[in-house]
């Protein structure tokens, strides 16, 4: 199930799997941190941070990706081009 089809408005809290929602957010390669919980009033709270690319790798194997501050790969986005140092090698 995609998050875009995960309708939450109007659903009972008992029918919403917050752990599953959090797992789906964490599985996104652009998400660094995600936390999902319900407050005392039944409002779903989502804390999320985006991974920040620090350089773009273009190698001899035609692989093109970003690296974040933790040294992890981030895929290219069709919607965004980061203004970072581009590197290549042999």
Whole-prediction pTM value? 0.70
HSE-up (13 A, CA, CB side) for residue 60? 2
In whole angstroms, what is the distance from residue 9 CA to residue 74 CA? 31
Q: Which runs of E-coded beta strand occur in the chain? A: 31-38, 44-50, 53-58, 64-68, 73-75, 85-87
Least confident of 2-11, 22-31, 78-87: 2-11
pLDDT tens sequence across 32-89: 999 999 988 888 899 999 999 999 998 877 789 999 999 999 998 888 888 898 888 6
In whole angstroms, what is the distance from residue 20 CA to residue 69 CA? 27
Q: Three-state DSSP class for 54?
A: strand
């Amino acid at each position: 199930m995609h998050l875009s089809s995960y309708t939450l408005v109007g659903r009972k809290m008992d029918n919403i799997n917050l752990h599953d929602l959090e797992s789906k957010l964490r599985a996104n390669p652009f998400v660094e941190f995600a936390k999902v919980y319900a407050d005392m009033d039944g409002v779903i709270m989502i804390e999320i941070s985006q991974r920040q690319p620090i350089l773009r790798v273009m190698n001899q194997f035609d692989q093109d990706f970003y690296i974040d501050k933790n040294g992890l790969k981030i895929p290219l986005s069709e919607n965004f081009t980061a203004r970072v140092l581009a590197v290549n090698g042999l």
